Structure formats: structure tokens, C-alpha cells
Structure 1
Amino acid sequence: MAAESSASDLISVVALLGAAVVTVPIFRRLGLGSVLGYLAAGLIVGPYGFGWFSDPQAILHVAELGVVMFLFVIGLEMRPSHLWGLRNEIFGLGSAQILTCTAVLTGIGVAFGFPLPVSFIGGMGFVLTSTAIVMQLLGERGDIALPHGQKIVAILLFEDLLIVPLLALVAFMSPQPVAEAGSRWTSVGIGLGALGGLIVAGIWLLNPMFRILAAAKAREVMTAAALLVVLGAALLMQLGGLSMAMGAFLAGVLLSESIFRHQIEADIEPFRGILLGLFFLGVGMALDLGVVASHWQLIVAGVLALMVAKALCIYVVARLLRSSHGEALDRAVLMAQGGEFAFVLFAAAAAAGVIDAEVNANLTAIVVLSMALTPLTTLALRPFTRRAALSLDGVDKAEGLSGSVLIIGFGRFGQVASQSLLARSADVTIIDTDIEMIQSAAEFGFKIYYGDGTRLDVLHACGAGHARAIAVCVDDKAAATRIVELVKAEFPQAKVLVRSFDREHSLELVGHNVDFQIRETFESALRFGEAALRELGVSEREAADVAELIRQRDAERFELEIAGGNLEAGRSMIYGNTPSAPKPTPFVAPKRESRALNAEAAAAKTQADVEAVE
């Protein structure tokens, strides 16, 4: 009997993972994002789809840990000084947006014919934006660390803080007998005590604990400790009547200055991703299609009215507080849905008798549908929510410049390549489009100009017409090729040197008659392999011979490909025989007397492996 139950549980887990593995890649491939894929998978396997799961609430309760861990990771990025710097956004922008949205959404509930208490609960539940969905979408776009992303994070944090007073307010609104005043003050004291205990533990206990565990050199124990911190902080806040997610966030902030921050984040990340995906699956399962079918007119009208009204409120508040049109619209679209804390609020209100079971089901369906629609609305309105241009304060545009060498791109490759030229006092002009990098380079004495090397007018302004050499050091394959095409057509007097992405790109650049090209990782990888041989006991001379042979073979094969040969012809040339000839045996620490022969064999074997990859 127990074996049958265990097998049934395992089948459920496999079905859940299988639905996610199949659905999410399809939705990402279609450009719809992973969130919508998880929601669709949950709907498919849930009680209103194939019916493989009958209790989505049980999954949601476990999967809420994904949201908890997500906020812990965000907290690790929020140093106390940085969090203090966001105080105006958290309490100013956050309170303005929430008050405005609450008033408007409560009014919509009254207009739909609901009593004021029910309208307020429904409106507040919708005001609490989905932290999980918004943070996931921001993370996929890489916007969390950007200024407009930080404003959204600040608002989400303030909304998460609201769940505590809202639950207390629900208790006051309840028609059921209320607890004595002493009990309320006891609850407040317990909450403050839990918060103080977490802060004390974070400041004086966490870092010493991780030092002791690191000295033990047990990786699995470090992972267990990281989970203990997250779940312990969440549990402490829950016991204190506060938000689990806020407890985890605060624990992350307290560890943000720790030397173990990156290790902890790496240990938590796999669990966070799995549980957050499980949360979205649970939300998809929670969509009661029976309720939607029975009250579809009310629910559809509610979703549209609440999402549009909330988006308009967010946009107006953002514009009044001097955000650009694009930033305000982007924030409005991202935050127009209800969130996971609405489920907690609605459940508490139903238990307290403020709303009945039917209203709870309808409001839950409205919130779930709004969460499912958010990825679609962000996708549909993407052309209208383009980012505003970054500030060019302190950055000079490339205009009227001249120099004997023009370097396009000042990333890692360009910085190293420029040092030889600057050491010989060459007249060098450097341009790039990364404003933050330009400003950072200025602090170290580098004069970098802002300019897009793929534009002909910018190249003219940079003095490309007078340059003796143009070095293309950008890390974008397509952009590098475009620049080469422009330079070869318009500035024939300049020697063209290009950073290549891979062998295929190198062949393409040779086809454009560049004067010099080099694969960005070839020489460094060759030196790395040479060093590895020396560490294995091979003499310095023998290791150098092997590296030189590989370099020579690669050059010969490259010439053959340029001349029109194919990959098999290149291999026959490397092995000195036909393509079907047996490959040499792997290289193992050659003896001195057979150094040349073994080096050649090692070079051929290594080159064959490289060909298979490239």
C-alpha cells in the first residue's frame, strides 16, 4: 500500500516536471517568456485541465518558498547603504502609487455593485503587485540593476511591507467577535521581537557561522547553511505574524556586505529557480475554469477594468514624479496585475467573514488571469516602452577628431590592445557606446569618446578618413563585420585590424580583405594549454614546441580553407594522409629523445578536437 502511494507521488512529480520541461521552452521559443509557459503548464496538468493534481493550494504553499528565495537573492544585492539611498522611492513613490491605486480600484469595486468593505479588499488585493512575475520579467530583460528597475523593486518592497497592516485591518473589519486589545498588543510585540531577533542574528551571528563552516571545507554544509538562513528567517517572520518574503529579504540585506555573499547566492540559485517555477505552476493550477465559466462576464470585465485602471494610475503617478514617458509606460504595463499576496489577503478576509466564498473565488480568478496576461501585455506593448537614452553627462561625443589610429570598442579586448599603442605615444582615438564604461575609464585617465562605429557619419567625425590604422575591437560579431564593410568601402587608406569571434568569422573577415584578424580566444587558449603541459612535467621547450606546432597547423589549415578547401581536406592535411587515415594516439608527457614526433602528434590531436568544436 505504501509502495503504491510512493509510486503515485513519484508519478505526480514526474508529470509536473514533464509539463514544465515541455511547455516552457516552447513559450520561450515563441517569445512569450517562461512565466506564461509555467502558467500554461499548471493549467494543463491542474484540476481544471487533465486533472493530474487536485489540490493546487498545497503546491502553492510549498512553492511560495520560491518567492521567499527570490527576495533573499535580491536582498543580497541590496547593501544597507544602497537600500537607504532608495528610501525616497520606497516610501515616497511607493506610497503615492499605492494610495492612488487603492482609491481608484476601490471605486471600481463599488461601481460594480459590491459593498465598500468587499470593494476595498478586492482593490487592495489587486494593488499588491506580483513580485514573482515582475522580478522574473525584469531579470529576463536584465533590468533589475538599472535605475528604472530599482524604482520598481523599491515599490514592490513597499507593497510587500503592506501585507502585515492589511491583515491586521482585515481583523478589525471582521464582523466576528474581535480579540481583546491586550492580544493585539501582544501580537505587535511578538512581531517587533521577531524583527529585532533577525537583525541581531544577521549582524552578529551569520558571518561567524559561515566562517566556521568555510573552514570545515564541506561544500554541502555551506549549501545547507544557506538554506537554513533563508528558511529560518522566513519562519521567524511568519511566527511573528510578518511576511516570510520580507524576512528573507532582510536576511539577504544583512548578508550583502559579507565576503560569503557570492557563495551563498550560488548555493541558493538552483533551489530558487525550481521553486519559483513551481510557484507559477501552482498559480496556473489555481485558475478555476468552472468559476470563470459561471461568472465569465463579471470576471472578464473585472480583469480589464482593474488592469487598465491600475496601469493608468501607475502611469499618472510616474509622470507626476518626473519619470519619462517610456519609463512610466513600462512600469504601468509591468505592474498592472494583482499578485501572490492577494491570495493571502483574500483567504484571511474569507476566514474573517469580510467576503464570502463566491467572492473569494471570483477575485482569485481575476488576479490569476491578470498574472497570466502580464507577459502578453508586456510583449504587445514592447515597441511603445523603449528605454530612454542614458545620460551623456560628462561624456564627449566623437566630433571633429583626428588621429593616426582609431580604436572602436574599449572593452576587455580593446583595453589590452590599446596599451602597446599608448606606450609608444601613438596618436590614438578611442570610441565606444558604453556610457558607464566611458565614465569609469575617465577616472583612470583614459579619454574615450562616445560613438557608434557602425555609423558612417560617426566614423567620419572620428577622423577615420585620416587614420593610418583602424582597430575594430567590439565584442559583437555582426557589428564588427558591418564596421569592416564601411571602412573598406570608405577609408581605403587605413589598415584594418579586427577582433574575430571564431574561425567562421575570421574567414568572413578575410573575405573582406582585412589586413589583420585574430580570434579573440585563440592565442590565450594556446598559452593556457602550454602552461598546462608544463604543469604536467613537460619541459618548457617541449611545451613551446607543441604550442608552435598547433599554431602552425592552424595557420596551414586556415590557408587551405581560404583557398577553397573543405573541413575533410583540412583534416587530411593535418594528419598527413587521407581523411580516413587513423588518428594519432593521445599525447602523454613525451620523452626528450622523441620530442618532435610526439609534439607533432599532440598538435594534430589537439587541432582535431578544436575542429570538432569550431
Structure 2
Amino acid sequence: MTTPNALFAEVLVLLGGVTVAAPLFKKIGLGTVLGYLAAGVVIGPLLRIITTGEEILSVSELGVVFLLFIIGLELKPSRLWQMRRDIFGLGMAQVVVTGLVLTAAIRVTGLLDWRPAIVAGFGLALSSTAFAMQILESESDVNTRYGQRSFSLLLFQDLAIVPLLALTSFLDGSGEKAANPLWVDILVAVATVGGMVLAGRYLLSRIFNVIARTGAREAMIAAALFLVLGSATLMQAVGLSMAMGAFLAGVMLAESSYRHELEADIEPFRGILLATFFMAVGLSLEIEVLLDKLVVIAIAVPAMMLLKAGVIYGLCRMTGSSHNDAIRIAFLLPQGGEFGFVLFTTAAASGLFSAETASLLIAVVTLSMALTPLGSALSRRMLTKGEKEELEEDFEGAGSDVLMIGFSRFGQIASQMLLAAGRDVTIIDTSADRVRQAERFGFRIYFGDGTRKDVLIAAGIERAKIVAICTHQRDITDRIVDLVQADFPDVRLFVRSYDRIHTIALREKGVEYELRETLESGLLFGARTLEALGTDEATADEIRRDIRRRDEERLAIQAAEGIYAGTDKLHTRPVTPEPLMKPRHGKVAEEAKT
């Protein structure tokens, strides 16, 4: 039994490992997950500082529970319903097909009889929610199409826990003596899920409302922890995963006004416990098993991951994923999962497996987890460059006085002016990378194509007073202008213009305001250059205003008479171009100076 002093020392060592591993591995580009794993291996199997990896793993699994709760908070029930085909279609196909393929592969090797081979095959078919979701979060890919499909697969795997445990009991011969038949266990699980849904819909928000009125901050934190741990424990009691219970609790509170506060309360616990979970996986790695079965493991781990990735890729392509998305999903989910530990341990306890076989399979799962970040990084080399990445179109919370379309350099600067003045701005963009980068800097922008009417409506154009079109391609800008003017004629249009010709064309369309993307920056640059040459600031600004005024006069003339009209309005005095070659004679040089 661990003494209090020893427990304190272990916690101190784990926190030190997190502190060192996270920045070090992030710096060298390998990611924090691999850093936590490496720290666990060093602290446990190599240096033997901590030898209670299994105990720490059982506690640190709460990190996965908190992670799923936070994901649930971001996923409304309506959104979950939209994902039902991926969850029960693609998810079920992945578990069944992958399980059968891996079972057949194990039988071909002759390592196991058909009954333990089925448990091993389906146990290895499950993936690690903790590893996959951490990678998706670190890359800001949770809301991408491939991120959502990956999450659907993981969600069904959690649902598959009950029948897989029942299958294990049936295969080891204890199913006939079980207290309850399978259909009773499934009915209890469904009833529990239904009860949680009803409680979340009619009770949870009211309970948090009562607690919030007391003004006791610590009571809100305690209630949040009680909710997560209570729902997780309830699900575990009926045979489902703890993570599934926490996820459902989060989904039920996704529409609550306390959603953001709950997320802020849980986040610190989630972060440190999830880091500890990854370290505990490293702590639990049995070096002796790896050394004794080195050849078997060296073949089994890559073979299992390649077979699993191949099946996932094929199923994703068959169900509509692009090549790039299918590659990302396949290399994100080829590892074994945390629940494989439970299946293999249960099979060993019932005599279906030998303890040595269970240790071997657990080592395969653990090592496959450790290789997941490297596999995810490797997948980027297999992507097709010409294929455009897309995110899920989720316009939750959209609708402001200003709808900005396009968030490149021009839109970023313009939006800062509006936000600094306290105005709400809804921003949409078609670049997945730009959406992710904006989120990292605290901007909330939506993925969407501004040339589609349904996207504009979803983004709140019917409530917008001004539509600011800040796209940088002229043809895209014109298509959006034509669409808005045709279907939303009462909206005021402020448009980024590509060049002078585009400005004239936009004025002919009747937009309220347009601005060439380089006009003001060019004028300011010229004014500051004059100051550097000795012109005083007031004179330089006066020249800038004069050039702007004359440019506007010329634009008006060009709009009426053609692009080549109005050249006399551009300059305040005639300009003599400097010769391209130096004059040969001094007299000519003097004339050039005058």
C-alpha cells in the first residue's frame, strides 16, 4: 500500500515530468503526447522511480472523462443527430470489419485459437479516444470534416463496449451462467442513457441556476466535478464507459447558459489528468514483455496498425470522404484503445487468455499508442496538395450587425477596428487553415463559402446591417456582390476592391462603399518617404490628401468617359520621367536636372 509520503513523492515526480516533457517535445516538433509517453517510460520502466503505473492509470483515466465532457459541451444534441449516419453507419462498419480482419490475421498466424482470436481481434479494433482527441485538439482539427468523422468512429466504439464484454463472457463459457441475459444488459444501458437525457433536459440547468444565485464560486466548481464524475460512474455501473457518461452530460448542457463557465471550471482538471494519463501509459509499459517477445511485437504492431489503417481508409472512401480526409482518419485511429486493456484483462481472468498473451496484447496496444503521433505526422506526406480541405459548416452563435466575408490580411485589419469599438462581427472564410489560425489567436470565425446563399443565411445576413466583402479574388468578390444585391437588396455593401478597374466596376454595380486594397497603404508609405527626405509632416499629409482628392476626381471621370480619361487629374504639376541611362554630355545632364 502506498504511504502518504510516497504518494506525495509520486505526484511531485509526475508533475515534474509534465513540466519538462511538454515544452521539450513541443520545441522539437514531436508533440506533447509523445513527450508525456517518453517521460512515463523514463520514470517507470527505465529508472523505476515509480512502479505503480496501473494504479496511476486507473486514476488518470479521469482525464479522458473530462475531455469527453468538454467535447460534449461543444456539441449540441441537434449536431449529434446530424452525425448519426457516421456514428451508426461508418462507426459500426469500422468495428465489425476491422474486428473480423484482425481476427482472421491472428488465426492465420496460428498464435491463438478462434475464440481468443475473436476477442483479440475486436479488442484491437478499438482506438484510443485520449490519443486521437488530443491530437485533433492540438491541431485545432476537431471541427474539420475528418475530425468529426473520426469522433463519430470513437463514439461508436464506446457504445460497442457492452456487446464486446458480453461476447467475451459468451466465448469463455460464462455467458450461460451470467446473472442477466445480453438483452437485459442492453435494455438497462438504454434506459440509463434515456434517464440521463431527460435529467439533462429538465433538471441540470435548473440546478446550476439555483447554485449560481448563491454566488459561491467553489460550489459551482464542486457541482461541475460532481456532475462529470457522477455521470461517468453511473455509466460504468451499467457496463458503458465512463467517458460516454461524461460526454452525454456535456451534450445535455451544450445549450445551457452555463456552458462556458463549466468549460472553464473543468479545463484545468482535464489538462493535468490527461497529461498524467499519457504518462501512466508509459509507466505501464512492460519492458520485460517487449524484450521477451521482441520479434513478435516488432511484426505485430506495424502489421496491426497497417491493417487497421487500410480498412479505415477504404471504409471512409466508400462513404464519401476525400482521399486527404481518409488518409488523416486512417493514420489518426490505427492504434489500440484504452478499452482493449479491459477486454484483454477480463479474458485472461476468465481463462480465455493466458496471462502472457494478455501482457503481449497490452504491450502491442501501448506501443501502437506511442507510435500514433508519429503516424499522424507521417500522414501529411501522403496528402494530395491540390485537394482543398474543408471544415464542418457550423454557424452556432452567428448573426451580427456586420457580416464579414473573407479573413485574409485586409479583413483581419478591418475587423480589429470594429472589434476594438465593441461591435459584434460575424466572420466567414473558406480557408480551413485560416480558421484554425484565427482560433489560436482568439478570433471566432466560421467556415463557409460566401458565394452560397444558404451559407449567407446561416451566417445571419438577414440580420446584418452591413456586409463587408473582404475577399481577395476579383471574380469571387463580384459573385458575392451579385448574389447579395439580387437576394438581399436592403443590405449595405462595403467591398474590398482589387484594383482601379475593379473599383470602377463596383461603382457601376452601385455598392455603397469600396476601397482599393493598396490605396491607403501606398499613400501612407509615400507620405512617410517624403518625411524621410526632409519634407515636414504637415506638408506630406497635405500632399497625400491632395493625391487622394485628385484620384477620386479621376475615378469619377473614368467611370463616365473610360479608363484612359482623367490623367491630368493625377498630379499637381507635370512630372518629367528620369532617363533610363545616364546622359553622355554635361549640358544634357544640366537640362535633365532642370
Query: TM (normalized to structure 1)?
Result: 0.68
Output the CA distance in 2 between the equivalents of 1:296 and 1:419: 60
Q: Provide, for residues 498-552 of structure 1, a one-character-per-residue CA deviation record: whole Å limited to 9, x for no partner.
A: 9xxxxxxxx99x9999999xxxxxxxxxxxxxxxxxxxxxxxxxxxxxxxxxxxx
**Could you tell me how far 1:281 is from its partner in structure 2?**
0.8
**Could you tell me how far 1:49 is from its partner in structure 2?**
1.4
Tell me the residue number matched to 1:82. Answer: 79
The equivalent position to 1:49 in structure 2, one of 24, 46, 49, is 46
Output the CA distance in 1 between the equivalents of 2:520 and 2:412: 26
- Cα distance 1:26–1:390, how it changes in 2: closer, same or farther (>3 A)? closer
Tell me the residue number matched to 1:119. Answer: 117
Tell me the residue number matched to 1:389. Answer: 388
Output the CA distance in 2 between the equivalents of 1:309 and 1:377: 14
CA contact (8 A) 2:100 2:122 kept: no
- Cα distance 1:448–1:105, how it changes in 2: closer, same or farther (>3 A)? same
The equivalent position to 1:167 in structure 2, one of 165, 168, 173, is 165
**Could you tell me how far 1:198 is from its partner in structure 2?**
2.2
Runs of 5+ unmatched residues, structure 1: 395-406, 421-429, 454-460, 470-483, 499-506, 517-614
Output the CA distance in 2 between the equivalents of 1:276 and 1:188: 30
Tell me the residue number matched to 2:90. Answer: 93
Tell me the residue number matched to 1:333. Answer: 331
Output the CA distance in 2 between the equivalents of 1:344 and 1:432: 43
CA contact (8 A) 2:197 2:252 kept: yes
Tell me the residue number matched to 1:446. Answer: 467
Q: Provide, for residues 53-87 of structure 1, a one-character-per-residue CA deviation record: whole Å limited to 9, x for no partner.
A: 22211111101111111111111111111000001
CA contact (8 A) 2:429 2:449 kept: no
Output the CA distance in 2 between the equivalents of 1:186 and 1:355: 27
**Could you tell me how far 1:5 is from its partner in structure 2?**
3.5
- Cα distance 1:202–1:448, how it changes in 2: closer, same or farther (>3 A)? same
Tell me the residue number matched to 2:107. Answer: 110
Tell me the residue number matched to 1:413. Answer: 414
CA contact (8 A) 1:339 1:367 kept: yes
Secondary structure of 1:195's partner?
helix
- Please, which moves more after superposition, 344-353 or 264-273? 344-353
CA contact (8 A) 2:161 2:239 kept: no
The equivalent position to 1:240 in structure 2, one of 229, 235, 238, is 238
CA contact (8 A) 1:20 1:41 kept: yes
Q: What are the residue-to-residue correspondences of 1:369-380 with 2, within 5 Å?
A: 369-380=367-378
CA RMSD of aligned residues (A): 3.7
- Cα distance 1:155–1:5, how it changes in 2: closer, same or farther (>3 A)? closer
Tell me the residue number matched to 1:273. Answer: 271
Q: What are the residue-to-residue correspondences of 1:308-387 with 2, within 5 Å?
A: 308-385=306-383
Q: Provide, for residues 289-325 of structure 1, a one-character-per-residue CA deviation record: whole Å limited to 9, x for no partner.
A: 1001000111111101100111111111111122111
Output the CA distance in 1 between the equivalents of 2:98 and 2:88: 15
Secondary structure of 2:56's partner?
helix
- Cα distance 1:511–1:301, how it changes in 2: closer, same or farther (>3 A)? farther
Tell me the residue number matched to 2:141. Answer: 143
**Could you tell me how far 1:177 is from its partner in structure 2?**
7.3
Q: What are the residue-to-residue correspondences of 1:476-491 with 2, within 5 Å?
A: none
Secondary structure of 1:242's partner?
coil
Q: What are the residue-to-residue correspondences of 1:217-236 with 2, within 5 Å?
A: 217-236=215-234
**Could you tell me how far 1:345 is from its partner in structure 2?**
1.1
CA contact (8 A) 1:408 1:431 kept: no
Amino acid at match of 2:193: L
Output the CA distance in 2 between the equivalents of 1:337 and 1:351: 24
CA contact (8 A) 1:408 1:432 kept: no
Amino acid at match of 2:109: F
Output the CA distance in 2 between the equivalents of 1:463 and 1:263: 43
Tell me the residue number matched to 1:307. Answer: 305
Amino acid at match of 1:171: S
- Please say if 1:10 is aligned against 2:8: yes
Output the CA distance in 2 between the equivalents of 1:178 and 1:23: 49
- Please say if 1:254 is aligned against 2:252: yes
Q: What are the residue-to-residue correspondences of 1:409-558 with 2, within 5 Å?
A: 409-411=410-412, 413-414=414-415, 416=417, 436=448, 438=450, 439=456, 440=459, 444=464, 446=467, 448=469, 450-451=471-472, 463-464=498-499, 494-495=522-523
Output the CA distance in 2 between the equivalents of 1:222 and 1:448: 43
CA contact (8 A) 1:237 1:247 kept: yes
- Cα distance 1:251–1:311, how it changes in 2: closer, same or farther (>3 A)? same
Output the CA distance in 2 between the equivalents of 1:339 and 1:419: 46
Output the CA distance in 2 between the equivalents of 1:18 and 1:181: 46
CA contact (8 A) 2:128 2:338 kept: yes
Output the CA distance in 2 between the equivalents of 1:108 and 1:497: 68
CA contact (8 A) 1:32 1:375 kept: yes
Aligned residues: 457
Secondary structure of 1:168's partner?
helix
Amino acid at match of 1:109: I
CA contact (8 A) 2:411 2:470 kept: no
- Please say if 1:153 is aligned against 2:151: yes
Q: Percent identity?
A: 40
Output the CA distance in 2 between the equivalents of 1:493 and 1:213: 53
Output the CA distance in 2 between the equivalents of 1:431 and 1:30: 31
Amino acid at match of 1:60: L
**Could you tell me how far 1:96 is from its partner in structure 2?**
2.1
CA contact (8 A) 1:431 1:452 kept: no
Amino acid at match of 2:95: I
Output the CA distance in 1 between the equivalents of 2:327 and 2:415: 37
Q: What are the residue-to-residue correspondences of 1:286-301 with 2, within 5 Å?
A: 286-301=284-299
- Please say if 1:71 is aligned against 2:68: yes
Q: Provide, for residues 2-39 of structure 1, a one-character-per-residue CA deviation record: whole Å limited to 9, x for no partner.
A: 9x943322211111111221122111111101110111
